[in-house]
Amino acid sequence: MTFGELETAGATWVRGFFAMPDADEGEPGEAPAISTLLQASARGYGTVLSLKFPSFPERGKPLPRPGTDAMNAELRRLDQVLPAVLDEVDVLVIGNEPFIECPHDDWNNGAINAFYEAVADHVIEYRAAHFPGGCRTALYMGALNHLEGPGWTGAGTERWMTYVRDTPEIEGTDIHPHVASLADSDAYLDYVLPRLGPDKKFLVTEFSLVQLWEEHLTDRVAAEYAAKYGVPPGTRVWQVIKKALDEPFPQDRWYDFLRTSPWFENNKDYLRDQVRKFRATGKLAVATYGIGQDTAMSSDFGPGKKPWLLNSLFASRSVQPLPDGTPAPNYAWLDEFKALQHR
């Protein structure tokens, strides 16, 4: 992400996340995610920071239990991060994707809730002690995933929502509806809204149709596209994307690829339609959307790779830069994103 891209998109908010073990590596306020958000705040953007507990390399390890040395280590990390971000960012999300980032055994045995409630209580106490006159930073819990799928709701998510509803200092919960259809996002709203209570809201710091894109990676490319660009008729969607990443396409070719793919073309108004659905609830606090094709989503692309890069506002890896050197818009999303800044 660059500030030039944000300006081109007419963006008004910026969101990032910080992996808490990185607090062991140096001053958190100087870490790229946090320092960039602080720069954005100074430029007048609204800012959202999600705290990730624990980071992906630690996935599979049991969550620390309150009162243990491991839990105390997590709280010490918090005490390093909070001075840099409280009263600086507009929204602090306690957790990134907790039900993905911990072992399945901890979902419904109370461990995930005990951990995140202890973290949230610590943040609440710290904020009250250090900002007795008030703090601009709103606190949310986050984020719930896969609520449209079987097995992703249960005792853990019920207690999660109860804590959100019954804790006055927590203003709501975050959700990440990465779905296969617009209708699938209804499961998130159907689950969260009745459990929020009258005074709480929800964030959507990530959302997309990436599950739909993934279903079509092994489809054959459209005959029209194959004929126009001399591509063998049996070429698969993922092979076209890989070729574009290996040797970035001219803008027209990338657009033709997506335009002739019905699974994409028929959903090119998704961004507008999804945000309207969120806003219609009257409970949306902030929604944010991915801006660029980064290294992680672009490297080693194949039929088993999650095609996050089709979501991005800019095709910074799959399309050649524009004549002025800036990244090309990613076909469908930029105009709708810009329009959505003005309700």
DSSP 25-69: GS-GGGSHHHHHHHHHHHTT-EEEEEEESS-GGGTTSPPPPTTSH
Alpha-carbon span 14 to 29, nearest angstrom: 16
In a domain, 245, yes or no: no
| pLDDT for 1 | 83
What are the C-alpha distances in Å from 166 to residues 112, 113, 160, 195, 264?
A: 17, 14, 10, 10, 41
Q: Are strands 284-287 and 46-52 parallel, antiparallel or unpaired?
A: unpaired
| pLDDT for 287 | 97
Angle between helix axes 32-42 and 69-85 (nearest 10 degrees) is: 30
Q: Is 213 exposed, middle or buried (0-12, 13-18, 19+ CB in 10 A)?
A: buried
Residues sharing a CB contact under 8 Å with residue 44, sequence separation 6 or more, in sequence order: none
In a domain, 310, yes or no: no
- State the pTM of this model: 0.96
Residue with structure tokens 């958190």? 28
| pLDDT for 313 | 97
Q: What is the CATH number of the domain that holds 112?
A: 3.20.20.80
In a domain, 337, yes or no: no
Q: Is 161 exposed, middle or buried (0-12, 13-18, 19+ CB in 10 A)?
A: buried
Q: Please tell me the total count of domains within the chain.
A: 1
What's the CA dihedral at 123, 125, 131, 133 to 10 degrees? Answer: 130
| pLDDT for 54 | 79
In a domain, 256, yes or no: no
| pLDDT for 277 | 97
What's the CA dihedral at 153, 154, 159, 164 to 10 degrees? Answer: 10
- pLDDT, one tens digit for every residue, the chain (343 residues): 899 999 999 999 999 999 999 999 999 999 999 999 999 999 999 999 999 997 666 777 889 999 999 999 999 999 999 999 999 999 999 999 999 999 888 998 999 999 999 999 999 999 999 999 999 999 999 999 999 999 999 999 999 999 999 999 999 999 999 999 999 999 999 999 999 999 999 999 999 999 999 999 999 999 999 999 999 999 999 999 999 999 999 999 999 999 999 999 999 999 999 999 999 999 999 999 999 999 999 999 999 999 999 999 999 999 999 999 999 999 999 999 999 988 6
| pLDDT for 202 | 98
Domain encompassing residue 173: 3-211+266-289
| pLDDT for 55 | 65
| pLDDT for 60 | 72
